[in-house]
Structure 1
């Protein structure tokens, strides 16, 4: 039996009065977090949620997220974390695809969530946060408890969470992450970070994303550390929170480090409590890494992971063992190889770039309801990441490119095909191609190249507004260029490398 929620129960029993969460200056102890998640577990059971049922969780970084997350797990149900930026059609797809039976959402996302739930025929919707007369407040889901609830006895290979990630087709796929996989991805990386109960982890990475969920929240709870929750990345707010809560660890994506460096009020804040920073989600520019380490006086340790691997695949183990500009070496129990286009291992060396493949405890159970996609991803028993890189003679890995069409905007993965499908539904659009273009602040910006239908003359603003209504805020294109035609290959495919 291994229910992931055991990490909370053990920390609560070891240090009940210790702070587990800080949000806007208010503290929740481990005993309180354990008890409140117990109340959620009892409430779910009282409402007919059975082990294995899906419960969707659409919340920003507020205390209600871990309260609900561990409560769902304690009941033996499966967490389906949803991005708070998704619009109604996107939410509806993920609710229906996962088979969600109950949704916990945030007041700020209620409008789209309610539309999505109605489309799916989902009536069990609970709302956290300050809402105007919500039908079902989140507090109504909590049942009274007088003693710690018994954790449902899940098997290590049972699904704990279904986290959606788009593939190269742009259609979201639900990666089934197991209790054992998530436990190990909290335990092993946490030991590498040397996390201890005195640490305060500045948690601004979204908890609905696997990086924040696994590499911040689960790691922190596993080792009894304190999570300092920040709901939205604003440089001044992050810096002020580091100073107020004496944060020792900051996990971020490269654009966050650049934004903190560029903050005009940086010198006003005391960040001397930081002892280490962790960067993931994309390769960090060498200039940003060097400048940040010099200015803040702490190392940035890079790692590499994916949703399908519950975050960590490789990591630089510490300031003395790291290889700057690499994403480190495989963590304990994980194997990584570099394969050519014929699925043959390549030798180490900068001249031997290929696809990174991996296997170990860290890989997902599979894509929910998609056996063909799962089989393709696990060819020859190895998970194919779709990312290109090489290894040096000492086993350190270097990422040189991402999936061919992937755009990483401010740390969020944006898949052009999904946007192109929306654009093609516009009556004035005959052809559409979406690419990422360099952006000094976000790393990449989304740009759409369009060929319009005869007699149509839409404006760029009209196209952008059309997409904004149908896509999450981080996905829709900010740049639109109209062309008479798009460059095509002999096979009729758009040559995106010619579009800039």
Structure 2
């Protein structure tokens, strides 16, 4: 498929961040309050960080369509992984880290995740299932709380700091390509994976904008930055 034609015609969620970085570079994109401190990335900063995550994953041999499992409460780091997967054509699987060992092992093996990215506060829990995973080749630690982790983890922040911030525009993405798989809780049987495509999430987002009455002049305001949570 012609790359330039794909860039023009496609509905790809990751393109939103590239465009916002160009049109509204200095406005808030993502905001988090952590231990009383406001952390914020502008659209330009957030887009650059997403590019770094993509290049970091590529350096590990991760290709478009590969699965990336992600575990952690909401944080800026969590959002960087989610939205970078959208830009790079990777498929992200946000894990329910409150699930038990058996369901976590099943979920990661069922989706054939090649990368497992874990917040440091959950590292011990995931160390306990590492030997039972079939496809996981790389383990990455997101330092959020400062907990010590095993040496087999690649440090997330160090890895993205060493990666390029250049825009990634060489990935062909089709409207109905999956961008995430959400697993059910598995209360009556094994967890079941529900795929969401780029087009489906785009239409869901558009419906929310219409329902909330967001006007074009509001869309770039700090009021509509992504607030990812408060941590004490």
When normalised by structure 2's length, the TM-score is 0.82
Contact 2:70 2:116 in 1 (8 A): yes
Q: Which residue of 2 aligns with 1:152?
A: 171
Supply the distance in 2 between the matched residues of 1:151 and 1:16 (Cα, whole angstroms): 22
Contact 1:117 1:123 in 2 (8 A): no
Q: Which residue of 1 aligns with 2:40?
A: 27
Q: Deviations over 1:19-41 (max 9, x none)?
A: 11221212111111100110010
Superposition pairs of residues 236-315 of structure 1, within 5 angstroms: none
Contact 2:28 2:221 in 1 (8 A): no
Supply the distance in 2 between the matched residues of 1:146 and 1:81 (Cα, whole angstroms): 24
Q: Which residue of 2 aligns with 1:71?
A: 84
- The alignment of Structure 1 onto Structure 2 pairs a total of residues equal to 209
| TM-superposed deviation, 1:150 | 1.5
Q: Deviations over 1:188-240 (max 9, x none)?
A: 2112212333353xxxxxxxxxxxxxxxxxxxxxxxx21222156xxxx7xxx
Q: 1:26 to 1:231 in 2, by over 3 A?
A: closer
Larger Rg: 1
Contact 1:76 1:151 in 2 (8 A): no
Q: 1:119 to 1:93 in 2, by over 3 A?
A: same
Contact 1:80 1:162 in 2 (8 A): yes
Q: 1:170 to 1:194 in 2, by over 3 A?
A: same
Supply the distance in 1 between the matched residues of 2:165 and 2:39 (Cα, whole angstroms): 24
Q: 1:137 to 1:8 in 2, by over 3 A?
A: same
Q: Deviations over 1:159-186 (max 9, x none)?
A: 1101001467332100011110011111
Supply the distance in 2 between the matched residues of 1:71 and 1:141 (Cα, whole angstroms): 14
Contact 1:44 1:72 in 2 (8 A): no
| TM-superposed deviation, 1:88 | 2.7
- Residue among 88, 96, 100 paired with 2:101: 88
Which runs of no fewer than 5 residues in structure 1 stay unpaired? 201-224, 238-500
| TM-superposed deviation, 1:156 | 0.7
Q: 1:31 to 1:89 in 2, by over 3 A?
A: same
Q: Which residue of 1 aligns with 2:53?
A: 40
Matched, 1:124 2:138: yes
Contact 1:23 1:62 in 2 (8 A): yes
When normalised by structure 1's length, the TM-score is 0.40
Q: Which residue of 1 aligns with 2:191?
A: 172
Supply the distance in 1 between the matched residues of 2:44 and 2:74 (Cα, whole angstroms): 20
Supply the distance in 1 between the matched residues of 2:170 and 2:192 (Cα, whole angstroms): 29
| TM-superposed deviation, 1:151 | 5.6
Supply the distance in 2 between the matched residues of 1:70 and 1:137 (Cα, whole angstroms): 19
Matched, 1:139 2:157: yes
Q: Which residue of 1 aligns with 2:229?
A: 230
Higher relative contact order (CA 8 A, sep 6+): 2
Contact 2:123 2:149 in 1 (8 A): no
Q: Which residue of 2 aligns with 1:490?
A: none
Q: Deviations over 1:325-367 (max 9, x none)?
A: xxxxxxxxxxxxxxxxxxxxxxxxxxxxxxxxxxxxxxxxxxx
